[in-house]
Amino acid sequence: MTTLNQDADLDRMFRALEDGSSSVRLRAALAAGTAPDPRLVDKLVERCAVEPEFQVRDMLTWALTRHPASMTVPRLVGELRSERAQARSQALHTLSKIGDRRAWPELTRELLTDADDEVARTAWRTAVALVPEGGEPELAGVLVTQLGRGGREVQLSLSRALVTLGEMIVPALRVAAADRDPRVRRHATATELLLRDPDAGFAFAVEEAKRVMALGVDKEE
């Protein structure tokens, strides 16, 4: 009878995680993290890929962090190869929260340069959180190839990731600051300014980068 009751409870949890009401799904995700059950891992990961509400997705991630990394990390790594952008992005986010460096080898160049901006941004944040000692130069080498990409929020995410790596990014930024693309030059200069003065803010760094470029050899804009 106990097994039957447990199975019934699991079925109810599965249905609640798919309920049409976001508040029901939120409570279900909270319950899944409050009382971890290995049988829920696959379902939680599955829901991360399709859940439309940010607050619920965040609770799903929290619930997964409450389960053993030995169970969640392999399942999440599998999602990194999904064709669904949200699946890749949420798996990356959850891996960053778990903080298990066994996932590091799976943070491929393809993910760090993903065509989907949200996936790429999440990959940058996750990579700088999980990079092992000695892996920073290689990571920085990939990240600088994304300078100049996207709008303000995308560029801010990349700058923050690069700044997290510290002074070792400066040589790569100096090279990028001489790039033929003015967007790359401006972004590289702004990132170095942000590294020097984190309290200045990105908007100020961008404006200062424009001024620096205008006073220098850059006349393209």
pLDDT by residue (tens digit) across 170-182?
Answer: 999 999 999 999 9
In the chain, at which residue ranges do the beta strands (DSSP E only) sit? Answer: none
Question: In Å, what is the CA distance from 221 to each residue of 78, 110, 127, 144, 154?
Answer: 44, 32, 33, 22, 21
Domain membership flag for residue 3:
no
170 and 85 fall within a common domain: no
Domain membership flag for residue 201:
yes
Q: How many residues does the chain have?
A: 221
Domain membership flag for residue 156:
yes
Please report, in angstroms and rounded to a whole number, the separation of the first and last CA atoms in the chain.
75
Given a cut of 80, is residue 214 above it in pLDDT?
A: no
| Domain count for the chain | 2
Q: Of the residues 130, 163, 197, which one is the last residue of a structural domain?
A: 130
- Give 2 or 58, the one with higher predicted confidence: 58
Question: In Å, what is the CA distance from 163 to each residue of 24, 111, 118, 132, 188?
Answer: 40, 20, 19, 16, 11
99 and 76 fall within a common domain: yes
Average pLDDT of the chain is: 90
Banded pLDDT at 210 (limits 50, 70, 90): low
Q: Is the dihedral of CA 69, 71, 74, 78 positive or negative?
A: negative
Amino acid in position 185: R
Q: Which token pair is 5? A: 């009751």
Domain membership flag for residue 208:
yes
Domain membership flag for residue 5:
no
Q: How confident is the model over 184-212, as a mean pLDDT?
A: 75
42 and 93 fall within a common domain: yes
116 and 204 fall within a common domain: no
pLDDT of residue 221: 40
Q: Which token pair is 127? A: 């990579």
Burial class (CB in 10 A: 0-12, 13-18, 19+), 166: exposed
Given a cut of 90, is residue 2 above it in pLDDT?
A: no
pLDDT by residue (tens digit) across 55-111?
Answer: 999 999 999 999 999 999 999 999 999 999 999 999 999 999 999 999 999 999 999
pLDDT of residue 174: 93
Print the SS3 string covering 146-183. Answer: HCCCCCHHHHHHHHHHHHHCHHHHHHHHHHHCCCCCHH
Q: Which domain holds residue 195?
A: 137-221
165 and 189 fall within a common domain: yes
CB 122 within 8 A of CB 93: yes
In the chain, pLDDT over 90 holds for what percent of residues? 81
Q: Which residue has the tokens 């190869």?
A: 81
Question: Per the confidence metrics, is the pTM higher than 0.85?
Answer: yes
Q: Of the residues 80, 111, 130, which one is the last residue of a structural domain?
A: 130
